[in-house]
Amino acid sequence: MINTKKRLYFAYGTNLNKKIFLKKYKNAKYLSKHILKNFELVFRSKYRVPDIQRKKGSSVKGIIYEIDKTTEKKLDRYEDYPKLYIKKFFNKKNKNVMYYFMKRKTPILKPAKYYLKVIKSGYRQNNYKFNFKFKVKNKIKIAVVGIGLMGSQHLKALRVSKKAKLHSIVDVNKNSIAHAKKFKVPFYRSSTELLNNNKPDAVIVATPNQFHEKHTISFLNSKIPVLLEKPISDNISKAKKIIQSSKKNKTHLLIGYHRRHNSIVTKVKKQIDSGNLGKIVAANVMCWLYKNKDWYKEKWRIKKGGGPLGINLVHDIDLICYLLGPITHVQATTSNKIRKYEVEDTAIVNFIFRSGTLCTLSVSDTIVAPYSYELTAGENPAYPITNQSAYFIGGTKGSIQFPNLKHWYNRGERSWWKPIYHKDLNIRLSRFTLINQIDHLCDVVSGKAKPKVSGNDGLQSLKIFDAILRSTKTGKKIRVN
Ligand SMILES: NC(=O)c1ccc[n+]([C@@H]2O[C@H](COP(=O)([O-])OP(=O)(O)OC[C@H]3O[C@@H](n4cnc5c(N)ncnc54)[C@H](O)[C@@H]3O)[C@@H](O)[C@H]2O)c1
């Protein structure tokens, strides 16, 4: 007789290994074998653990245990109920049978070796034939919204990524249909149209900044992770709403400051964090370039917001914060003396970091020079590359310059009277930054990584940028809130 206070529990995956299960849950009692029809066994989450999902014609082999309340509570803890798994029931001979069912159907992954070993042994113990094959659908399906300058770069990166594949294209402009045809994917005219059809695993939003809030929130509300192009938004209050939506929906938001995915930047970050340079004292960042006459044919580029502060500086703000930590104060001065447009052609920005480090950044689009990240990192083939550096970071034990990666130091005593040496750390240029960024998005979707550039990082850059603009009006030092 089955005690009605007790529960029937259908175990699949590792828990059908009776030897392990009954040793761990002493009050549990094995009842019978059971095959659950029209379901299949899969593996998900960062732990690559078993889950089941509906599939017509398939079946999941398992066993039924009788468990008491104490055992159930213990099991709940083990299964991370109700965070990772929820409970569902089926009926067997007028009795409810409980089973665990993963709450979020994240992408299917290769099973972890340990779990597979335990399951195989469980199959043997129950005289089940271990004949199933795991179909690993590990390519994450990504839709791209907005196929302009940046969206089309993402399409190219998606083509090369081993972890992702293009799901569909969304654009208000009919010209983008040509991209959809080329990549043989569906084309939608709006995010709503996409959401009403086959949902992707993730999206890249590369629409103009003023639409970031609307598009991103619509996907987050549908629990679809978003890689949102930088800047997070065109104003701080919209940016906060985007972040709130990500939190409310418990869905990942990543911001497209792709430089953080450059292998050279990763190396520099490691050097700084390892203490090899000592305490970081100061940094000098240069963004000197020359924009040709045609660039300024577009009217918005000669008005406020269209100059090098708005276009070029934002990436540098994010990168320097990533490397040196939070900024507490900024002070900025601009000039339009050369081009004489309404917008600045040159600016000097001083940053004070919480750590005490000081940094000066100079940006100009009217200097013929190789000293900018664009012309030295080799990320974008549109810019002819030079073997120079744009970032100089100095510490009490040494300094580093990059993208032309060199580490400068004294051997023995540190002194300006002693010879200074340099090590070329890596001069291989990274053309894979956008692909790395997409692969990282896939890892986040699969639960293997946390966002490298979060919504809050995006908001912080926006706040710093806002403080810089305020400082340009008075020349005064401004505290970053
Ligand atoms: N990471 C970088 O280095 C980088 C470089 C350039 C631009 N960006 C960012 O990428 C975003 C797009 O910039 P861009 O230069 O590619 O702009 P763009 O004008 O070249 O392209 C925008 C695209 O979005 C489409 N679009 C506009 N409204 C839409 C809507 N409601 N729904 C769907 N599609 C819509 C347009 O038709 C166009 O195809 C911006 O946020 C920008 O700041 C980032």
210: domain CATH number is: 3.40.50.720
How distant is the alpha carbon of residue 455 from its chain centre? 10
DSSP run (H or E) holding 320: helix 313-324
Residue 303, domain member (yes or no)? yes
Residues 254 and 269 in one domain: no
| Angle at CA of residue 286, ends 283 and 292, nearest 5° | 170
- pLDDT tens column, 352-372: 999 999 999 999 999 999 999
Q: Is the CB of 205 under 6 A from ligand 1?
A: no
* Residue 474 burial class via C-beta count within 10 angstroms: exposed 0-12, middle 13-18, buried 19 and up: exposed
Q: Are strands 346-353 and 358-364 parallel, antiparallel or unpaired?
A: antiparallel
Q: Taking a C-beta distance cutoff of 8 angstroms, is the pair 393, 320 a contact?
A: no
Q: Is the CB of 172 under 6 A from ligand 1?
A: yes
Q: DSSP class of residue 162?
A: S
Indicate if the pLDDT at residue 260 is higher than 70: yes
363: domain CATH number is: 3.30.360.10
**Quick one: average pLDDT of 315-336?**
97
Residues 354 and 289 in one domain: yes
Residues 206 and 269 in one domain: no
The pLDDT value recorded for residue 306 is 82
The pLDDT value recorded for residue 5 is 78
Poorest-confidence range of 218-222, 380-384, 461-465? 380-384
Q: How confident is the model at residue 137 (pLDDT cuts 50, 70, 90)?
A: low
Number of domains in the chain: 3
Q: Taking a C-beta distance cutoff of 8 angstroms, is the pair 440, 161 a contact?
A: no
Q: Is the CB of 145 under 6 A from ligand 1?
A: yes
Closest CA to 250 of 272, 281, 221: 221
**DSSP states of 41-68:** EEEETTTTEEEEEEEEEEEEEEEEEEE-
Residues 45 and 159 in one domain: no
Q: Is the CB of 170 under 6 A from ligand 1?
A: yes
Closest CA to 253 of 210, 221, 287: 221
Q: Taking a C-beta distance cutoff of 8 angstroms, is the pair 282, 385 a contact?
A: no
The 10 Å CB-count burial string (b at 16+, else e) for 17-28 is: bbeebeeebeeb
Residues 31 and 144 in one domain: no
Q: How confident is the model at residue 1 (pLDDT cuts 50, 70, 90)?
A: very low
Which sign, positive or negative, has the C-alpha torsion 413, 417, 418, 422? positive
Q: Which residues pair with 452 in a beta bridge?
A: none
56: domain CATH number is: 3.10.490.10
Phi-psi region of 11 (alpha: psi -120 to 50; beta: other; left: phi over 0): beta
Q: How confident is the model at residue 304 (pLDDT cuts 50, 70, 90)?
A: confident
Residue 134, domain member (yes or no)? no
What whole-number distance in Å separates Cα of residue 140 and Cα of residue 446? 8
Q: Which residues pair with 49 in a beta bridge?
A: 44
Among the candidates 75, 94, 125, a domain finishes at: 125
Residues 104 and 236 in one domain: no
User: Residue for token digits 């000669």?
Assistant: 302
- Residue 172: how many other CB atoms lie within 10 Å: 11
User: Residue for token digits 């890249």?
Assistant: 204
The pLDDT value recorded for residue 429 is 57
Indicate if the pLDDT at residue 55 is higher than 70: yes
**Quick one: average pLDDT of 4-20?**
91
* Residue 274 burial class via C-beta count within 10 angstroms: exposed 0-12, middle 13-18, buried 19 and up: exposed
CA–centroid distance, 207 to ligand 1, in Å, is 4
Residue 437, domain member (yes or no)? no
Residue type at 215 in one-letter notation: H
* DSSP-derived 3-state class of residue 185: coil
CA–centroid distance, 297 to ligand 1, in Å, is 19
pTM listed for this prediction: 0.75
User: Residue for token digits 């418990």?
Assistant: 250
Residues 295 and 401 in one domain: yes
Residues 145 and 102 in one domain: no
Residue 443, domain member (yes or no)? no
Ligand 1 pocket test: pick from 153, 172, 218, 461 the residue with the most ligand atoms within 8 Å of its Cβ. Answer: 172
DSSP run (H or E) holding 382: none
Poorest-confidence range of 272-286, 374-388, 452-466? 374-388
Tell the residue nearest (CA) to atom 18 of ligand 1.
Answer: 148
- pLDDT tens column, 453-467: 999 999 999 999 999
Closest CA to 8 of 94, 113, 125: 94
Which sign, positive or negative, has the C-alpha torsion 351, 355, 358, 359? negative
Which sign, positive or negative, has the C-alpha torsion 293, 295, 299, 303? negative
CA–centroid distance, 162 to ligand 1, in Å, is 25
| Angle at CA of residue 152, ends 183 and 150, nearest 5° | 155
The pLDDT value recorded for residue 301 is 85
Residues 245 and 305 in one domain: no
Which sign, positive or negative, has the C-alpha torsion 112, 447, 78, 52? negative
Q: Is the CB of 173 under 6 A from ligand 1?
A: yes
Residue 434, domain member (yes or no)? no
Residue 435, domain member (yes or no)? no
Tell the residue nearest (CA) to atom 24 of ligand 1.
Answer: 146
The pLDDT value recorded for residue 425 is 76
User: Residue for token digits 């400068």?
Assistant: 408
* DSSP-derived 3-state class of residue 271: helix
Residues 330 and 468 in one domain: yes
Q: Taking a C-beta distance cutoff of 8 angstroms, is the pair 457, 177 a contact?
A: no
Q: Is the CB of 229 under 6 A from ligand 1?
A: yes
**Quick one: average pLDDT of 19-43?**
94
Tokens of 51: 């889950």
Tell the residue nearest (CA) to atom 5 of ligand 1.
Answer: 150
- Residue 333: how many other CB atoms lie within 10 Å: 13
Among the candidates 92, 125, 158, a domain finishes at: 125
Residues 189 and 217 in one domain: yes
Tokens of 305: 């917001």
What whole-number distance in Å separates Cα of residue 380 and Cα of residue 345? 23
| Domain ranges, residue 161 | 140-258
Residue 356, domain member (yes or no)? yes
Residues 251 and 310 in one domain: no
Indicate if the pLDDT at residue 247 is higher than 50: yes
Q: How confident is the model at residue 132 (pLDDT cuts 50, 70, 90)?
A: low
Among the candidates 223, 258, 293, a domain finishes at: 258
Closest CA to 98 of 185, 160, 34: 34
Residue 441, domain member (yes or no)? no
